[in-house]
Amino acid sequence: MIEKKTCCKNAVILMPEPVAEPALNGLRLNLRIVSIVMFNFASYLTIGLPLAVLPGYVHDAMGFSAFWAGLIISLQYFATLLSRPHAGRYADVLGPKKIVVFGLCGCFLSGFGYLLADIASAWPMISLLLLGLGRVILGIGQSFAGTGSTLWGVGVVGSLHIGRVISWNGIVTYGAMAMGAPLGVLCYAWGGLQGLALTVMGVALFAILLALPRPSVKANKGKPLPFRAVLGRVWLYGMALALASAGFGVIATFITLFYDAKGWDGAAFALTLFSVAFVGTRLLFPNGINRLGGLNVAMICFGVEIIGLLLVGTAAMPWMAKIGVLLTGMGFSLVFPALGVVAVKAVPPQNQGAALATYTVFMDMSLGVTGPLAGLVMTWAGVPVIYLAAAGLVTMALLLTWRLKKRPPSALPEAASSS
């Protein structure tokens, strides 16, 4: 209690001390995070909904080649890659809530593009152009919504919990993609491309209406660092992430071909094991990064991922491959948040959006080149070799992270680039 004396009779009035808000932990913390990252869930749901529909629609219904069907899907990923640094910079300047709303508006407009493409179906080239435009807008929208929701979540719960925010973002991403694909097929069967487009627009609009009344967090004031300086502070962490992402890339892209080459069944179940291990590890170890430190967690994860990839590459029986896929999912699960925590803290608060976006670009690029390069290796040396090669790349990530941990603070990228 605080004593307050009056000026007249020297009486003492006991005033209650201000009560600090209880520390966030457990369920309350997770609920606050989920209340923000659900907007990223909505953006990824709009990605998942057309994912299993558009390739077949372009190839079968519109009569275009498989090249054009693949290009329509890839346009979204290229747009995400190119726009992600801009999303981070605008989040630093305007605040993350505005960026999330802008991103969700892009998701809405992508559905509108699909709707226009359906209306213009009598003119195939115009319809294809409208589909492509919708995919580009979706890619930009996702980069804004994804980057903004992470920074918004950090602003709500504090930078101490940035690892948990990033982890939950990954969980909702996988959940939305897993739900979106079968739901999109159902929507297409119900109402054709028009039904799919209206569903995408409805999801995005509902998320926008939920986001608008939410309190925003202020953008950090201060002179932002130029992009080159931000890149200089995060690129080594990004390189470690890129190398480790090769393991995820070869599992997601080539595990079906691996099982076919071995004459085994169960490739789909192996992918399910990967997803369960990925999400389960993030749920089971929410405080691991805070307790052990980002670099330590990353090195442990690299070790687990390496063992998993080696098991897949040398598997003589299906159970060995399944255990390997499970371990790879467990290992890769915490790599992004573990290194991301260190990367984001390497810059001032007013540059954390740019740092997160720049760091994420390394994974985008890695996943973009892993498929073609691994395909060349597979053609030359066989499918199992790509998993052994990926294990070698993850080993390089482990050594790089170990060197980062052993280097003195003055030699770390954040210090070296600030001079």
242 shares a domain with 167:
no
Among 286, 280, 281, 274, residue whose Cα is nearest residue 328: 274
Q: Which residues of 232-262 are buried (b: 16+ CB within 10 A; e: fewer)?
A: bbbbbbbbbbbbbbbbbbbbebbbeebbeeb
Query: Within 13 A of 236's CA, how many CA atoms are on the CB side?
Result: 21
233 shares a domain with 197:
no
- What pLDDT tens digit does each residue of the chain (419 aa) get? 444 444 444 443 333 333 334 455 677 888 888 889 999 999 999 988 988 788 888 888 888 876 787 778 778 888 888 888 888 788 878 888 999 999 999 999 999 999 999 999 899 999 999 999 999 999 999 999 988 888 888 888 877 777 788 888 888 887 887 788 788 889 999 999 999 999 999 999 999 999 999 988 776 666 667 777 888 888 899 999 999 988 888 887 778 778 888 888 877 788 778 888 888 888 888 778 878 888 999 999 999 999 999 999 898 888 999 999 999 999 998 898 889 888 888 888 777 777 888 888 888 788 777 777 877 887 788 888 889 999 999 999 999 999 988 876 545 554 444 33
66 shares a domain with 189:
yes
Separation CA 301–CA 317 (nearest Å): 25
Write out pLDDT tens, residues 103-153: 999 999 999 999 999 999 899 999 999 999 999 999 999 999 988 888 888
Write out pLDDT tens, residues 8-39: 444 433 333 333 344 556 778 888 888 899 99
74 shares a domain with 40:
yes
Cβ-based neighbour number of residue 368 at 10 Å: 14
355 shares a domain with 283:
yes
Instruction: Tell me the whole-structure pTM to 2 decimals.
Output: 0.74
206 shares a domain with 276:
no
- Asked if 114 and 129 touch (Cβ cutoff 8 Å), the reply is no
- Asked if 393 and 246 touch (Cβ cutoff 8 Å), the reply is yes
Name residue, tokens 């980057």.
147
Separation CA 177–CA 382 (nearest Å): 30
What one-letter code names the amino acid at 314? T
pLDDT over 70, % of the chain:
89
- Asked if 325 and 312 touch (Cβ cutoff 8 Å), the reply is yes
Separation CA 171–CA 178 (nearest Å): 11
Last residue of a domain, one of 153, 179, 211: 211
389 shares a domain with 250:
yes
* 359 Cβ contact partners less than 8 Å away, ≥ 6 residues apart: 234, 237, 238, 241, 339, 340, 343, 344
Last residue of a domain, one of 160, 178, 211: 211
Partners of residue 2 on adjacent β-strands: 15
Name residue, tokens 């498929």.
371
Number of domains in the chain: 2
Residue 381 forms part of a structural domain: yes
Residue 384 forms part of a structural domain: yes
Residue 222 forms part of a structural domain: no
Among 143, 159, 98, 85, residue whose Cα is nearest residue 349: 159
Separation CA 40–CA 89 (nearest Å): 18
322 shares a domain with 176:
no
333 shares a domain with 188:
no
Separation CA 384–CA 264 (nearest Å): 14
268 shares a domain with 176:
no
Q: From start to end of 136-223, where are the E strands? A: none
- Our measurement of the distance from residue 201's CA atom to the centroid of its chain's CA atoms, rounded to an integer in Å, reads 22
Residue numbers of the domain that contains 190: 31-211
CA dihedral of 394, 399, 404, 405, whole degrees rounded to 10: 110
Q: Tokens in use for 66?
A: 């498989």
Residue 5 forms part of a structural domain: no
Residue 3 forms part of a structural domain: no
Last residue of a domain, one of 186, 211, 236: 211
237 shares a domain with 191:
no
136 shares a domain with 266:
no
Residue 245 forms part of a structural domain: yes
Q: Give the CATH number of the domain where residue 190 resides.
A: 1.20.1250.20
Residue 135 forms part of a structural domain: yes
Residue 24 forms part of a structural domain: no
